[in-house]
Amino acid sequence: MRHRFTTLADLLEYTTTLNRNRLASDFVDGGCSYTFSQFRDKADQLSGLLGTFGLNPADKVAILSENMPNWAVAFFAITAHGRIAVPMLPDLSPNEVENILVHSEAKAVFVSQKQLPKISKESYNRLNIIIDISTFDLIKAEDESYTCDGRSKVPDATDIAAIIYTSGTTGNAKGVIEMSIGMLYPFSTGCPVYYIQKPPTPTILSQALLKIRPTTILSVPLIIEKVIRGKIFPTIAGSKYLRYLKKHFPHVLYFLVGKKVKQQFGGRVRFFGIGGSKLDREVEEFLRNIKFPYAIGYGLTETAPLICDAGPKRTHLGTTGTASYEVQVRLADVNPETGQGELQVKGPNVMLGYYKDYARTRAVMTDDGWMRTGDIATMDKKGRYSILGRSGSVIIGASGENIYPEEIESVINKISDVNESLVISRAGQLVALVQFNDGAVDWNLEGQEKFLENIEKRKKEVMEFVNSKVSHFLKIKDVEVMKEPFNKTATHKIRRFLYQDKNEKRAKGDSPQLHEK
């Protein structure tokens, strides 16, 4: 029977009552475990603490921390008692943290010791209370804030629970009034969640997977792509026996390799959800061949958690699935020749708006109440959508063709030793900016003849490989090798606008060759 929650207070009461003695969360290596009953008790206690320092319903409380069990406790201490959470990603810069604290008017913050230096002196002095999220000890609590007159309340279904700030790729951060799925869904179903204390390097992640042996994993494509491209493909290519199987008995190869891949993820995975960006087509085809239980999800921060999805038995190569439960999807301004249009969405998943930003909220909504995603897509006869790229990153070709740089980048990223790439328009020509994996280019030799020869060889390899795989109007004219990593947002998306040809944009006026959102 499906249980419908109307508020996070409902969810907390339901799951902590039904699963009171079950493990709710812990670190992979232990040391911070909560049963569901203990989780609720601690959340209620912390809500009382916030009240004693003057925080009332609808007051904002920020969370600035790495992932840990206490993150979820702090979140429910805020939201289940009528206050508003302002989660912040740990990769944010001090400037971004300050902007969010000021814009949200946060009165308190749960913060880790590692993130504490990002809080400015001005914000430190302004906040009513600062709590160490690792221990829940007080870092700052002024006497004048200890009023004991703060109140909590049982939230209504229409109350704001959280404001999630996203900087996107350009402009100032936008506060999205919406919720997501990552921590809430497993919590609601009584599933234990395990957190990794160290950065999830391949070795650390592998050890955690083998120890916990999860049944469900939610991941960005990068994780599975690194496993398949970095380990599995080279293993097959380097083995005469496996190459023979691939040529003559592919079903045997896929069976054997599939077993190995599943073991690397703990051996019990029944659902491997992939979202955040587009999954590489070649990797997806391989996952289908080995019968790996992957699922695809597509959504935005503004339309959390999903717009379209495809479960493990409903995936279709290259598509992001059909419209999610109770979500309406349509394509607007469809090109009759290509079937391409902007994907727009309506449903209970769509945000209430950008906090204190009517103009930008209005800009992403149509007159008839649909939200513009800014993504260009097509739909097949079975209602499955394929995302081609962002409308803001479209490059107009010399003959008026719409060029989606993501398509070319996906080809470049298949090249051995390529870490990341970005395709831009420069003087009317397509140029690929490429960053190679560590060790592929020895920058200590920069300027020497051997170094220059290696760079030219790498550029030629990229150019020839890409141009042999793409249509004539997608062919690149030049390759630039990047020494430094690309500048990215806190969610690890490359800030495209920083690399566009500014001189060309000015010269083209209102009709730039490279359109950026």
Q: Transcribe 110-153 into DSSP letters.
A: EE-TTTGGGS-HHHHHH-SEEEETTT--EEEE-GGG--S-----
- What pLDDT, on the 0 to 100 scale, is given for residue 226? 83
What class has domain 394-508?
alpha beta
Residues in the chain: 517
- What pLDDT, on the 0 to 100 scale, is given for residue 168? 47
The top-scoring range by mean pLDDT among 304-318, 398-412, 500-514 is 304-318
325-347: b (≥16 Cβ within 10 Å) or e = eebebebeeeeeeeebbbbbbbb
CATH annotation of 8-185:
3.40.50.980
Q: Higher confidence at residue 48 or residue 95?
A: 48
Q: Is the pLDDT of residue 51 over 90?
A: yes
Give the largest Cα separation in the chain, rounded.
78
Segment 329-333 long-range contacts (CB within 8 Å, at least 24 positions apart): 329/385, 330/370, 331/377, 331/378, 331/379, 332/366, 332/370, 332/372
Q: Is the pLDDT of residue 503 over 70?
A: no
What's the pLDDT band for 373 if we cut at 50, 70, 90? very high
- What pLDDT, on the 0 to 100 scale, is given for residue 504? 45
Q: Is the pLDDT of residue 4 over 80?
A: no
What's the pLDDT band for 52 if we cut at 50, 70, 90? very high
Cβ atoms of 151 and 498 within 8 Å: the answer is: no
Stretch 218-231: mean pLDDT? 86
Give me the architecture of the 188-390 domain, per CATH. 3-Layer(aba) Sandwich (3.40)
Nearest to 50 by CA among 25, 80, 23, 29: 80
394-508 and 8-185 share a CATH fold: no
Mean pLDDT of the chain: 89
Stretch 37-62: mean pLDDT? 97
Pairing mode of beta strands 60-64, 84-88: parallel
Domain ranges of the chain: 8-185, 188-390, 394-508
Stretch 492-514: mean pLDDT? 54
What's the pLDDT band for 172 if we cut at 50, 70, 90? low
- What pLDDT, on the 0 to 100 scale, is given for residue 170? 42
- What pLDDT, on the 0 to 100 scale, is given for residue 517? 29
- What pLDDT, on the 0 to 100 scale, is given for residue 169? 41
Residue with tokens 């599995």: 232
pTM of the model: 0.83
Stretch 395-419: mean pLDDT? 85
Stretch 433-457: mean pLDDT? 92
- What pLDDT, on the 0 to 100 scale, is given for residue 180? 66
Listed in sequence order, the residues at least 6 apart from 88 whose beta carbon sits closer than 8 Å to its beta carbon are: 62, 63, 64, 97, 100, 165
Look at 37-51, 75-89, 471-485 and tell me which has the smallest mean pLDDT: 471-485
Look at 117-126, 193-202, 278-287 and tell me which has the smallest mean pLDDT: 193-202
Stretch 13-42: mean pLDDT? 97
